A = this chain, B = another copy of it.
Amino acid sequence: MEWKQQLREYVDLTNQYLEEMLHEATGHNKTVIEAMKYSLYAGGKRLRPVLMLAAYRLFNSNITEVLPYAAAIEMIHTYSLIHDDLPAMDNDDYRRGKLTNHKVFGEGIAILAGDGLLNYAYELMLQEALKKENPRAFVEAAFQVAKASGVNGMIGGQTVDLESENKSISADTLAYIHLNKTAAIITASLKAGAIIGGGTESDIRNMEMIGQALGLAFQIQDDILDIVGDEAKLGKRTGSDADNQKSTYPSIHGIDASYDKVKQLTEAIYGTLEQYGERGLFLKALSSDLMERES
């Protein structure tokens, strides 16, 4: 199968699962569910679910059991964007060319919709785990997701990012933000997929290496695009990092070193994937595509 066809399949499986899951919004709580759906269906690329499904497929073919986890990681990613966009945080009116959650539903509901998505992610993972006679692997996968999402992962990264606004920061602080705000969840997606799929400890370490390299490269690429990207393709303003005097990889290390770093990280990913032969080709193609993306 062409890798783009495989990508389409993973994205479709994720979207289908997400839509079936939150279909009903008729009760007293319908506003918050509508708000959750608004951001969840706002055109995300489903990168994290795709990574989880791909990592799972390195070791296993019965993809149904990992879908709730793929949906959960997308919910956690989406909640973080909703809260990040709030006036007290990044204060963004648009994301992916659409109004942000609080611009449509108001700040109070946007806060609750974010909370709702985060909590629902765990509800989904635990519910799936309960279907198993012995759910240990599912608990381990959920624990990896939880660690990566929390104060020693994504939320820690968001905190330091928030505190670093409008001031120049050290390369060390920037590395902390990148590793925690972006790479942690990407890494957890790959690890959780491998754990549920039945990978060995060595496989799980490989996923960790790939996740950290991919997450860091992805973030540097994001920062490069904020300098050289096309606003129409990105669906958002460029130059906002410079306007906000935000320290980024290119602003600290220069744009050439940024391109070099992305290239070097990509090579490391290819190297680790080699041992999976044919099975690793999808993740290789996806990584390559991400590094050449324009949005």
- Residues on A close to B: CB < 8 A? 27-29, 31-33, 36, 79, 83, 86-89, 106-112, 114-116, 118-120, 122-123, 126-127, 129-130, 134-136, 138-140, 142-143, 146-147, 149-152, 155-156, 158-160, 162-163, 173, 176, 180
Q: Which residue of B lies closest to A90 (CB)?
A: B108
Given known contacts A28-B173, A115-B114, A150 and B123 CB-to-CB distance under 8 angstroms: yes
Interface centre among A87, A118, A152, A155 (most CB of B within 10 A): A155
Q: Smallest Cβ distance from A33 to chain B, in angstroms? A: 6
CA distance A89 to B88 in the complex (A): 13
The 10 closest A-B pairs by CB, nearest first: A29-B156, A88-B107, A126-B143, A32-B159, A123-B146, A119-B150, A88-B108, A116-B151, A28-B176, A122-B122
Q: Which residue of B lies closest to A86 (CB)?
A: B111
Say how many copies of this protein the assembly contains. Answer: 2
Q: List 18 A-B contacts (CB under 8 A).
A: A27-B156, A28-B156, A28-B159, A31-B159, A32-B156, A36-B151, A86-B111, A88-B108, A88-B111, A112-B158, A116-B151, A119-B146, A119-B149, A120-B150, A123-B150, A130-B143, A135-B139, A138-B139
Q: Smallest Cβ distance from A158 to chain B, in angstroms? A: 6
A160 with B28: CB separation less than 8 A: yes
